[in-house]
Amino acid sequence: MILDLLFPNRCVGCNRIIEADILVCGLCYSHINFTHYDYFNNNPVKEKCNLLFPTENAYALMQFEEESLSRKVIHELKYKSREKTGKILAEWVTERLDFKDLKPDLLASVPLHPKKLRKRGYNQLHLFTETLSQFYKIPFDHNLIKRNHNTRAQALKDKKHRIESSNIFSLSQPVSGKHILIIDDVFTTGNTVSSIAWEILNADSNKVSILVIAVDL
């Protein structure tokens, strides 16, 4: 209670004091550019993914635009030590995405390199993924995908330098006959999810779908 008085929770958008368990005030929330994509049909993320690898379905919660509130929200999650933002963002997803009777078999979040994980103190996708797992009753595995190399965040790179690298990821164990939903924060070129997707697809009879918090196309 004392900490709440000394350090009240403030809206990411306008900095006004808000309730402790929310991220933005009502007015700023109305200004967020949600995508309203159809997970089961063509949308810009799925179309881009299909140019890189066979994709079952794809979804992005928000548009990741220059100087936008969605960009501020992502940066709060990744760089401002606000891990609980992941739970709020996952709840925004559950309000919009219905898997119906075609739920994936497993949720797999994009990992951080151990060096970056130690520096940040948490993986920004873990609480997000766990909240989705609990709501949709789909198991998750944070350790299925292993990051072999420490690379600079895609969102911080100049677009001219966002190039595909090989052998960045590998699987920690064999998977077969699974439909895996790969979860990432920001979709830019698609190189990250593509690298992971091919590791999964090169195994026996697997399928992949994509869910990202924001898309920057």
The string of pLDDT tens digits covering residues 116-166 is 888 888 899 999 999 999 999 999 999 999 998 766 554 444 544 444 456
Domain residues for 23?
1-31
My answer on whether 137 and 151 are in the same domain is: yes
Q: What is the mean pLDDT of residues 81-94?
A: 92
- Could you give phi then psi for residue 72, rounded to 5 degrees? -60, -40
Q: How many residues does the chain have?
A: 217
My answer on whether 140 and 39 are in the same domain is: yes
Burial of 167 (0-12, 13-18, 19+ CB in 10 A): exposed
Q: Which has more confidence, 80 or 46? A: 46
SS3 158: coil
Cα 67 from Cα 70, distance rounded (Å): 9
My answer on whether 9 and 48 are in the same domain is: no
- The pLDDT of residue 155 is 46
My answer on whether 9 and 107 are in the same domain is: no
Q: Mean pLDDT score of the chain, rounded to an integer?
A: 88
My answer on whether 8 and 108 are in the same domain is: no
Q: What is the mean pLDDT of residues 42-54?
A: 96
My answer on whether 103 and 19 are in the same domain is: no
- The pLDDT of residue 127 is 95
My answer on whether 39 and 22 are in the same domain is: no
Residue in this structure with the two tokens 């979860």, named with its chain if needed: 183
My answer on whether 123 and 43 are in the same domain is: yes
**pLDDT at position 100 over 80:** yes
Residue 4 pLDDT class (50, 70, 90 cuts): low
SS3 137: coil
How many domains is the chain partitioned into structurally?
2
- The pLDDT of residue 114 is 85
Least confident piece of the model among 58-62, 172-176, 177-181: 172-176
Q: What is the mean pLDDT of residues 69-74?
A: 92
**pLDDT at position 2 over 70:** no
Q: What is the mean pLDDT of residues 56-68?
A: 92
My answer on whether 112 and 45 are in the same domain is: yes
My answer on whether 4 and 46 are in the same domain is: no
Contact 135, 94 (CB under 8 A): yes
My answer on whether 21 and 113 are in the same domain is: no
My answer on whether 147 and 63 are in the same domain is: yes
pLDDT over 70, % of the chain: 89
